[in-house]
Structure 1
Amino acid sequence: MDARELLARIIKCEAGGEGDNGMKGVATVVMNRVRVPDGEYRRIGQGDVRKIIYQKGQFDCMRPVLGGVANPQTIWANPPEQIHYDIADWALAGNRLFTIGSSLWYFNPFAPCPYTFPYNGNGRFQVKILKHCYYNPTASYFET
């Protein structure tokens, strides 16, 4: 699967019901991880979209099992549509959703957004778009 196809699939799976801005937010985070100059994502991803998306434990849509049961919502179970390819192309061309900033993480807490995420304190809350909270890296992230 090429980078475009993989990005379109992760966009649909992670934020398919979140409208254009929600999907662009997810695409922006993925590409921020691809382009971050230091830290864990630079070391592991080496600027490769595929390595970022396939990094173990990062995206629920990449996990065949969640909570001990088969995950019905994976990138393989739900093929992308044209809108997902369009947003993947938009992100691969270097575009970013400006409200996301340099966010490297997002998640849906099913509650108000916590100030830090991940729980190791490497991210600080940036913005909420629909159900997802987005987090910019702190100085401690760059030591990972």
Structure 2
Amino acid sequence: MAYSNRELLARLIKCEAGGEGENGMKAVATSIMNRVRVPYGEYHKIGQGDIRKVIYQKGQYDCMRSVLGGVANPQTIWGNPPEQIHYDIADWALAGNRLFPIGYSLWYFNPFAPCPYTFPYNGSGSFQIKMVKHCFYNPTELYAKT
């Protein structure tokens, strides 16, 4: 049976940012929902406002991959059931709330080093803020052309 949108988002929040506290999880949830709501570019074309299409887009979230680098991924949405806090944050994000400092960031990642100024590396995102362990990136003019 397929997960509901709420369940899917709660699982992704836990897997992608479960150890980063409430603000870290809200930041990731904001970025995910920004992809759902962006009115132009790649995510608009692919997702068309559908959270499932955004989450299942190939190659976007490590937690959606059963294999990483040729090895079984121990941290997936299927192996990490959410707790109440993850459902609460999913509900918060699905209701249209956003964490203000994240802005309109479409990307985030944990570089285990200082945040690079651009990400993805094609220059379609520029650094917005570092929140807990993740760097967040707003779309540039280049993204609009994707």
Determine the structure 2 residue equivalent to 1:36: 38
**Amino acid corresponding to residue 129 of structure 1 in structure 2:** M
For residues 132 and 31 of structure 1, what CA distance do their matches in structure 2 show? 16
For residues 112 and 103 of structure 2, what CA distance do their matches in structure 1 show? 22
Which of 14, 17, 29 is residue 19 of structure 2 equivalent to?
A: 17
For residues 64 and 81 of structure 2, what CA distance do their matches in structure 1 show? 14
TM-score normalized with structure 1 length: 0.99
SS at structure 2 position matched to 1:124: strand
| In the alignment, structure 1 residue 48 sits paired with structure 2 residue 15 | no
Determine the structure 1 residue equivalent to 2:98: 96
**Amino acid corresponding to residue 49 of structure 1 in structure 2:** I
| In the alignment, structure 1 residue 70 sits paired with structure 2 residue 76 | no
For residues 7 and 48 of structure 2, what CA distance do their matches in structure 1 show? 19
Residue 2 of structure 1 deviates from its aligned partner by 1.1
How many pairs does the alignment contain? 144
Q: Structure 1: any 5+ residue segments left out of the alignment?
A: none
Which of 53, 59, 72 is residue 61 of structure 2 equivalent to?
A: 59
For residues 127 and 66 of structure 2, what CA distance do their matches in structure 1 show? 29
Determine the structure 1 residue equivalent to 2:132: 130
Q: Deviations over 1:66-118 (max 9, x none)?
A: 11100000000000000000000000000000000000000000000000000
**Amino acid corresponding to residue 56 of structure 1 in structure 2:** K
Determine the structure 1 residue equivalent to 2:85: 83
Q: Structure 2: any 5+ residue segments left out of the alignment?
A: none
Please provide the CA RMSD for this pair.
0.4
Determine the structure 2 residue equivalent to 1:115: 117
For residues 132 and 58 of structure 1, what CA distance do their matches in structure 2 show? 15
Residue 59 of structure 1 deviates from its aligned partner by 0.2
For residues 106 and 62 of structure 1, what CA distance do their matches in structure 2 show? 15
For residues 112 and 84 of structure 2, what CA distance do their matches in structure 1 show? 29
